[in-house]
Structure 1
């Protein structure tokens, strides 16, 4: 049975990184498009797969899994011997370094990033919005300065090879440039080099240009 990948048609959020791992690992899959506007993710059938009614979800021959980071780990582990190597290494110490960097993304990078996006995307445009944006950017810059130091010693966050820890940053960070914030390429040369390399990966560029397509 071909793996079924339930997600919207847009390359964004958690669905985007799962699509990227599917392509990087050369996994055959059927993209089952979920119409969020029509609330297909809130139907009883979908809620039976994901009790919170969110995307993405995969069905791998009857094994149902949700939450994008968990899905990426599962796919990279199961298909370790095909496609891009080393996304989730088998070696205990190498994997620990990936988990360390992934934990930093979730606990440090993402919360600081979210504050910037929330401040920047306020629809009612409060009088002190710019002050809120500046404060959030200052906090986020501190996080990126730590990244600058790490990436000055190695190519990627867990070593000299791209891993899931790097890919996880593509969940929300692309929204910064879309909202006129160029902090990912202006904080320092090491972060800029790393970020440009991530967003220039052929699989990501192809997905951005063509959208998510079934490979069966």
Structure 2
């Protein structure tokens, strides 16, 4: 049975999962859950995702939600195909988990709020809170100073090999430009890393998928 990905093409967490599926060369069927119609709040959907958000997967009856957990599962299950994304050596694995925590607490924490103000509010016809936007942009800038220092010494966030931790940044990070900021290109080492990871064939393929989906409703 082909793995099924239930999600919404306009959110950020669904493309995160699709990216890892592409990176690991895993076939999947996409089922669009339209957040604008609140399909994620239907009783049937919430049997599988009780928080009423996207995405979740159905892997031959195994149900899993939360995008990073899904990505970790996929990268672990298909460890021997596609790009290795989870280091197995003890210290390398510890550095990987350190980088994963960085993405959640130092990057996503602020990017999520920046995108909410400048992208999602605009999408809903609301007015951005400029003070909140500027506050989180400044906080993100300070965090990216630390990123730049780390990336001055190595190619990726946990070493010289790409991992899930790097790829987790892409879907939300890509929305920053949509929100009107070029902050991902403002620091030399962050810029080099960002161009590297967003140029990967897996992300190029996901972007094409998203365009196709927005045009004809198919992935």
TM-score, scaled to structure 1: 0.88
Which segment is superposed worse, 99-108 or 37-46? 37-46
Which segment is superposed worse, 143-152 or 38-47? 38-47
Q: Is the 8 A contact 1:116 1:140 kept in 2?
A: no
For residues 71 and 208 of structure 1, the distance between their equivalents in structure 2, rounded to whole angstroms, comes to: 20
For residues 18 and 125 of structure 1, the distance between their equivalents in structure 2, rounded to whole angstroms, comes to: 28
Query: CA shift at 1:179, angstroms?
Result: 1.2
For residues 23 and 95 of structure 2, the distance between their equivalents in structure 1, rounded to whole angstroms, comes to: 21
1:4 maps to 4
Q: Is the 8 A contact 2:9 2:15 kept in 1?
A: no
2:198 maps to 199
1:168 maps to 168
Q: Is the 8 A contact 2:117 2:128 kept in 1?
A: no
2:127 to 124, 128, 131: 124
1:153 maps to 153
Where do 5+ consecutive residues of structure 1 fail to align?
none
Number of aligned pairs?
Answer: 208
Map Cα deviations across residues 123-157 of structure 1 (whole Å, 9 max, x no partner): 3356xx3x554443222111000000000000000
Residue correspondence of structure 1 range 1-216 to structure 2 within 5 A:
1-10=1-10, 12-85=11-84, 87-118=85-116, 120=118, 123-124=126-127, 129=130, 132-186=132-186, 188-211=187-210
From the superposition, tell whether residues 118 and 18 of structure 1 become closer, same or farther in structure 2 (CA, over 3 Å): closer
Map Cα deviations across residues 88-138 of structure 1 (whole Å, 9 max, x no partner): 122222221111001011111222323433554563356xx3x55444322
Secondary structure of 1:171's partner?
helix
TM-score, scaled to structure 2: 0.87
Where do 5+ consecutive residues of structure 2 fail to align?
none
* Higher relative contact order (CA closer than 8 Å, sequence separation 6+): 1
Secondary structure of 1:173's partner?
helix
Q: Please tell me the root mean square deviation across aligned C-alpha atoms, in Å.
A: 1.9
